[in-house]
Amino acid sequence: MSLRTQDRGGNGASQRRRNYMRASKYALIIGMLVMAPFTVKADTITETFTVPQISGNLPNGASKSGTSFSLFNPALGTLNSITFDIEASFTLSNGGATDVHSPEFAVEFWDGSTFVTTLQSPTDGVTGNVSGTLSFTKTYVSGGVGLLPGGFDAFIGTGSMETNIDVRDEIPTVQPDSISMTFTNPETVTYNYTPSTVGAVPAVPEPGSFALFGTVLAVIGCSRLRPRSRRPDLR
């Protein structure tokens, strides 16, 4: 009889340990849920620019200036990546049915009077007087694979970036065919960044969140303070 009593006492201690571990796990999960909304998360800013319709004779095509857009302000935080999304539709005309062309657009970026880089649409050969769509969509990550031509830091600052667009033909076989290109507008440049915490007012969890977390901790504390069953004498 005494041995059975001792076994029950041992089993009770094991159960209390299991309850304590379970309560601790729940407390950790609740704590993470309470504090998660107040951690620093990445954010995005989307800048736009527009391009007028461009028409010209091939192969040289034509060139026009687009509108400018703002650089990423470093006071906002750390720039993680830049995504460019540029799209246009084109129409070839005044040519022969067997003329082969490779129309493309190239967007030049200028920081004031300094040339930064050119982003060029991928293109395939087309035959005859046809219409089609050209696009350039790509994300450049700071320090990552496929670095932005001209430098990632060129898009960081407090000024603006100017744009100039060229429309041309890479493999003309007959001249003078003509091309007309219309951009979707607006074209977008999206900055993904981690906000700076310097000078920022830290977010404070709601009192109810603290109360919930405190209640769980109190339950754990009470479970540790419960008196242990006295082990009976085996005599």
Q: pLDDT tens digits for 26-60?
A: 556 655 555 555 455 789 999 999 999 999 887 77
Q: Can you tell me the distance from the alpha carbon of 166 to that of 60, in angstroms, rounded to the nearest whole number?
A: 9
Partner residues linked to 188 by β-bridges: 48, 85
Secondary structure (3-state) at 138: strand
**pLDDT tens digits, one per residue of 94-107:** 888 888 888 899 99
Mean pLDDT of 74-91: 94
pLDDT category of residue 85 using cuts at 50, 70 and 90: very high
CB 165 within 8 Å of CB 105: yes
- Using alpha carbons only, how large is the chain's radius of gyration in Å? 33
CATH number at 106 reads 2.60.120
Are 97 and 13 found together in one domain?
no
204 located within any domain: no
- The residue among 1 and 81 whose pLDDT is bigger is 81
Pair 218, 167 in one domain: no
How far, in Å, are 63, 83, 84 from residue 164 at the CA level? 7, 18, 15
What pLDDT is attached to residue 113?
Answer: 77
pLDDT of residue 110: 92
Question: What would the mean pLDDT of 154-178 be, rounded to a whole number?
Answer: 84
Structure tokens at 117: 């880089």
- The CA distance from 95 to 178, in Å, is 7
* Residue 29 counted as domain residue: yes
Give the residue numbers spanning the domain of 156: 43-195
Largest distance between two CA atoms of the chain: 114
Rounded Cα distance between 92 and 174, Å, is 12
Does residue 145 share a domain with residue 69? yes
Flag whether 79 is in a domain: yes
Q: In terms of pTM, does the model score above 0.85?
A: no
Whether residue 102 is contained in a domain is answered as yes
Statement to judge: residues 35 and 55 lie in one domain: no
pLDDT tens for 93-149 read: 888 888 888 889 999 999 877 888 889 998 778 888 899 999 999 998 887 656 677
Q: What is the pLDDT of residue 178?
A: 87
